[in-house]
């Protein structure tokens, strides 16, 4: 069905409101990088302005034929955002992509800051555990935050997704778990304290190395506002 | 503004406003059932990826559409013809090089290229701009440099190969392209309008089809992201020719934003640098999302010819550039 001028304005309002709503709350962090926020807010406002201008000038133009049928589709992401607000990517997306690890040389691994346990990011832990052969991790207890997932063979993993721009380019950082692994369902967020194990596994998706962690203690935590790293 | 009473009476049938209202009402009433969809991991992943792709593109789309409206309404008709070299064969490389100035991803450059054609730029030059802008702008090149810290030649190879593909495609269009393949969507009569009404009318006429097709492309790309496991490409990683082709196809299917694709390419470590270069050259020029948007802006008969031709040229140029820079395996 063709979309008349008033319906066009309404669709633009719907999309503008959806974009603004996730932009003013922390919800946008489920889908895109932090840095996109000002652009999302600006785009949401401009969509509303375009909608108002469309509606105000609706009697000035003489439309030939019908409006843009495909414009209906713009209501779909707006409705998904307003009605469902899907959660950040979780355990369901873990086995789809290979583990992320950035190749660095030993010189890129300065000593960890003081503290016991010392909080490190999942990516930093994975890179140090694999490429630094654990040099800077030797004798240190670390604290990591991620969610539980299971690998292809059902083995427990601690995972954190990394984003570059948006969730469609998300890459998981996977860490194999040993020791006192809590028996909790996938997607449970944990803060774990533990030490590096020399054991590694190979991710069958991209052939990269998955390091392991021996868990001393784990505590269930609420999902952080930004699920990604 | 005229009073509402002077509006033409609408026929008594189901209008699009009523349909939209019904859809909204239905969505709100069945909220509980719809939320049940999120229990399915695949559906949940699909929904998150789908809205992410659309959200990531929306600011660039809005920017591109407003820029294109500004070009249509505020730039004098003969400006681009004077700014570009008179001979079409020279206008193509000039327009391709001008792609450096549009910082953004491919979603913004489609409506801008459409506006350039409307403003009298020869289609060959506008298409060269369309292809080069998302690939060679500073934001994308810096992202590439950050993603490949150990391989500084990747930035150079990407920039040069993308520029060469854009110029070759422009020249190919000059030789083989037909004007009737390009069907820009019908416009309202902008000439009789004051500037600002014309500006908003132009923005709306770009935004609705380009946005609609962006949603379509985003849905397709999310589906393939969920259905095509990355390990399928693993099987061909060590075959020099097939791997270049495989990563070219992967770039089309994943429809990644050109600002993000370098990081994904960097993580495909089992592939040769040449294959990863193909991923980076093809991605910003041909992908599902872009194909859908080109269909919306330039018409179907254009898109079904232009996208496959661009794919072939991009893969060949990437393979050649890779062989020159890193040697043939």
DSSP A139-163: T--EEEEEEEEE-TTS-EEEEEEE-
Chain B residue with the nearest C-alpha to that of A74: B212
Range with the poorest average pLDDT among A93-107, B147-161, B168-182, B209-223: A93-107
Range with the poorest average pLDDT among A92-96, A212-216, B256-260: B256-260
Q: Mean pLDDT across chain A, nearest whole number?
A: 87
A221 pLDDT band, cuts 50/70/90, is very high
CA distance A118 to A138: 12
Structure-token match 């990644």, residue found: B256
Question: What percent of chain B lies above the pLDDT cut of 90?
Answer: 30
* Domains of chain A in sequence order: 5-86 (no CATH), 93-220 (2.40.50)
The pLDDT value recorded for residue A164 is: 77
- Chain A residues with CB under 8 Å of B15 CB are 4, 7
Contact B200 A83 (CB under 8 A): no
The pLDDT value recorded for residue A134 is: 62
Q: Mean of the pLDDT values across residues B201-220?
A: 84
- Chain B residues with CB under 8 Å of A57 CB are 197, 200-201
Distance from CA of A209 to the nearest CA of B (A): 12
The pLDDT value recorded for residue A57 is: 73
Which two structure tokens, joined as six digits, stand for A98?
Answer: 């290979």
Distance from CA of B293 to the nearest CA of A (A): 11
- Name, in order, each residue with C-beta under 8 angstroms of B231's C-beta and a sequence gap of 6 or more: A98, A204, A205, A206
Range with the poorest average pLDDT among A94-108, B98-112, B260-274: A94-108
Contact A7 B53 (CB under 8 A): no
Distance from CA of A36 to the nearest CA of B (A): 8
What is the per-residue pLDDT across B53-103, written as a single tens digit (0 to 9) for each? 889 888 888 888 888 888 888 888 778 878 888 898 999 999 999 888 876
What is the per-residue pLDDT across B17-26, written as a single tens digit (0 to 9) for each? 788 888 888 8
Contact A169 B24 (CB under 8 A): no
Range with the poorest average pLDDT among A179-188, B187-196, B256-265, B290-299: B187-196
Distance from CA of B224 to the nearest CA of A (A): 11
Question: What percent of chain B lies above the pLDDT cut of 70?
Answer: 91
Q: Mean pLDDT across chain B, nearest whole number?
A: 84
CA distance B44 to B47: 5
CA distance B25 to B327: 61
- Chain A residues with CB under 8 Å of B62 CB are 42-43, 46-47
What is the per-residue pLDDT across B245-257, written as a single tens digit (0 to 9) for each? 999 998 998 887 7
Distance from CA of A228 to the nearest CA of B (A): 13
The pLDDT value recorded for residue B230 is: 65
A125 pLDDT band, cuts 50/70/90, is very high
The pLDDT value recorded for residue B5 is: 45
Contact A100 B48 (CB under 8 A): no
B145 pLDDT band, cuts 50/70/90, is confident
**pLDDT at residue B211 above 90?**
no
Q: Is A11 exposed, middle or buried (0-12, 13-18, 19+ CB in 10 A)?
A: buried
Contact B208 A71 (CB under 8 A): yes
Contact A206 B268 (CB under 8 A): yes
Chain B residue with the nearest C-alpha to that of A22: B55
Helix B153-176 crosses helix B123-136 at what angle (to 10 degrees)?
Answer: 170
- Chain B residues with CB under 8 Å of A72 CB are 212
The pLDDT value recorded for residue B6 is: 47
Range with the poorest average pLDDT among B47-56, B225-234, B278-287, B299-308: B225-234
Question: How many other C-beta atoms can be found within 10 angstroms of the C-beta atom of residue B97?
Answer: 16
Helix B240-254 crosses helix B273-282 at what angle (to 10 degrees)?
Answer: 30
Range with the poorest average pLDDT among A186-200, A206-220, B263-277: B263-277
Q: Closest partner residue to B58 among A43, A171, A207, by Cβ? A: A43
Q: Mean of the pLDDT values across residues B192-212?
A: 82
The pLDDT value recorded for residue A67 is: 55
CA distance A187 to A160: 10
CA distance A146 to B91: 53
- Chain B residues with CB under 8 Å of A28 CB are 55
User: Nearest 5°: CA angle at A22, between B70 and B218?
Assistant: 65
A118-119 and A142-150 strand pairing: parallel
CA distance B258 to B264: 11
CA distance A167 to B54: 11
A156-162 and A209-220 strand pairing: unpaired
User: Has this prediction a pTM greater than 0.95?
Assistant: no
Q: Which of B137, B75, B80, B84 is nearest to B106 (CA)?
A: B137
Distance from CA of A32 to the nearest CA of B (A): 6
- Chain A residues with CB under 8 Å of B230 CB are 96-98, 205-206
B203 pLDDT band, cuts 50/70/90, is confident
Q: Mean of the pLDDT values across residues A133-141?
A: 82
The pLDDT value recorded for residue B67 is: 85
Distances (CA, A) of A189 to A154, A157, B161, B250: 18, 12, 44, 32
Q: Mean of the pLDDT values across residues A181-191?
A: 94
Q: Closest partner residue to A168 among B53, B62, B211, by Cβ? A: B53
Range with the poorest average pLDDT among A199-203, A221-225, B116-120, B272-276: B116-120
Judge whether B137 and B103 are in contact, CB under 8 Å. Answer: yes
**pLDDT at residue B298 above 70?**
yes
Range with the poorest average pLDDT among A63-67, A80-84, B81-85, B102-106: A63-67
The pLDDT value recorded for residue B312 is: 97
Contact A50 B200 (CB under 8 A): yes
Q: Which of B135, B120, B139, B219 is nearest to B169 (CA)?
A: B135
Contact A86 B51 (CB under 8 A): yes
Query: Mutation test of the interface with chain A: which of B2, B19, B24, B207, choosing the one with the most A Cβ atoms within 10 A?
Result: B207
Question: How many other C-beta atoms can be found within 10 angstroms of the C-beta atom of residue B35?
Answer: 12
Chain B residue with the nearest C-alpha to that of A207: B270
The pLDDT value recorded for residue B14 is: 65
Q: Closest partner residue to B215 among A7, A74, A84, by Cβ? A: A74
Contact A19 B209 (CB under 8 A): no
Hey, what's the torsion of the CAs at B3, B6, B12, B13, to 10 degrees?
-70
CA distance B242 to A63: 50
ipTM above 0.85, yes or no: yes
B208 pLDDT band, cuts 50/70/90, is confident
Contact A67 B19 (CB under 8 A): no
Q: Given its phi and psi angles, is residue B270 left (phi above 0), alpha (psi -120 to 50 degrees) or beta?
A: alpha
A65 pLDDT band, cuts 50/70/90, is very low
């Amino acid at each position: 069905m063709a979309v008349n001028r008033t319906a066009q304005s309404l669709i633009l309002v719907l999309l503008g409101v959806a974009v603004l709503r996730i932009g003013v709350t922390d919800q946008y962090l489920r889908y895109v990088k932090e840095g996109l926020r000002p652009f999302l807010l600006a785009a949401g406002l401009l969509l509303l302005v375009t909608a108002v201008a469309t509606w105000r000038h609706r009697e000035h133009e003489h439309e030939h034929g019908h409006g843009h049928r495909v414009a209906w589709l713009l209501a779909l992401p707006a409705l998904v955002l307003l009605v469902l607000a899907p959660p950040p990517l979780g355990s369901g997306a873990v086995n789809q992509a290979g583990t992320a690890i950035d190749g660095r040389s030993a010189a890129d691994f300065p000593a960890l800051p003081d503290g016991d346990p010392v909080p490190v990011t999942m990516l930093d832990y994975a890179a140090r555990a694999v490429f630094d052969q654990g040099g800077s991790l030797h004798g240190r207890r670390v604290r990591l935050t991620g969610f539980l997932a299971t690998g292809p063979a059902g083995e427990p993993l601690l995972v954190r997704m990394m984003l570059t721009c948006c969730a469609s380019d998300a890459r998981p950082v996977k860490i194999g778990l040993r020791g006192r692994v809590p028996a909790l369902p996938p997607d449970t967020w944990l803060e774990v304290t533990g030490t590096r194990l020399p054991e590694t596994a190979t991710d069958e998706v991209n052939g990269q190395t998955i390091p392991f962690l021996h868990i001393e203690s784990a505590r269930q935590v609420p999902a952080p506002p930004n699920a990604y790293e | 503004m005229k009073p509402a009473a002077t509006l033409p009476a609408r026929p008594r049938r189901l209008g699009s406003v009523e349909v939209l209202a019904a859809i909204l009402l239905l969505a709100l009433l069945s909220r509980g059932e719809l939320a049940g969809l999120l229990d399915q991991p695949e559906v949940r992943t699909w929904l998150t990826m789908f809205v992410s792709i659309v959200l990531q593109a929306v600011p660039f789309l809005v920017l591109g559409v407003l820029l294109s409206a500004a070009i249509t309404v505020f730039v004098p008709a003969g400006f681009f013809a004077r700014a570009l070299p008179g001979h079409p064969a020279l206008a193509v490389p000039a327009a391709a090089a001008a792609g450096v100035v549009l910082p953004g991803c491919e979603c913004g450059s489609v409506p801008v290229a459409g506006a350039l054609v409307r403003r009298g730029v020869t289609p060959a030059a506008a298409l060269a701009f369309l292809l080069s802008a998302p690939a060679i702008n500073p934001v994308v090149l810096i992202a590439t440099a950050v993603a490949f810290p150990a391989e500084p030649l990747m930035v150079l190879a990407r920039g040069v190969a993308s520029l060469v593909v854009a110029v070759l495609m422009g020249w190919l269009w000059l030789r083989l392209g037909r004007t009737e393949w390009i069907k820009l969507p019908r416009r309202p009569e902008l000439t009789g309008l004051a500037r600002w009404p014309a500006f908003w009318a132009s923005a709306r006429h770009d935004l609705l089809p380009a946005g609609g097709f962006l949603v379509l492309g985003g849905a397709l790309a999310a589906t393939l992201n969920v259905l095509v496991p990355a390990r399928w490409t693993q099987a061909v990683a060590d075959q020099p020719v097939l791997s270049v082709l495989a990563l070219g196809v992967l770039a089309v299917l994943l429809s990644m934003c050109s600002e993000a694709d370098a990081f994904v390419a960097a993580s495909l470590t089992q592939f040769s640098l040449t294959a990863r270069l193909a991923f980076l050259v093809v991605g910003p020029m041909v992908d599902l999302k872009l194909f859908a948007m080109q269909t919306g802006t330039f018409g179907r008969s254009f898109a079904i010819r232009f996208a496959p031709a661009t794919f072939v040229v991009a893969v060949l140029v990437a393979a050649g550039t890779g062989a020159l820079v890193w040697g043939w395996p």
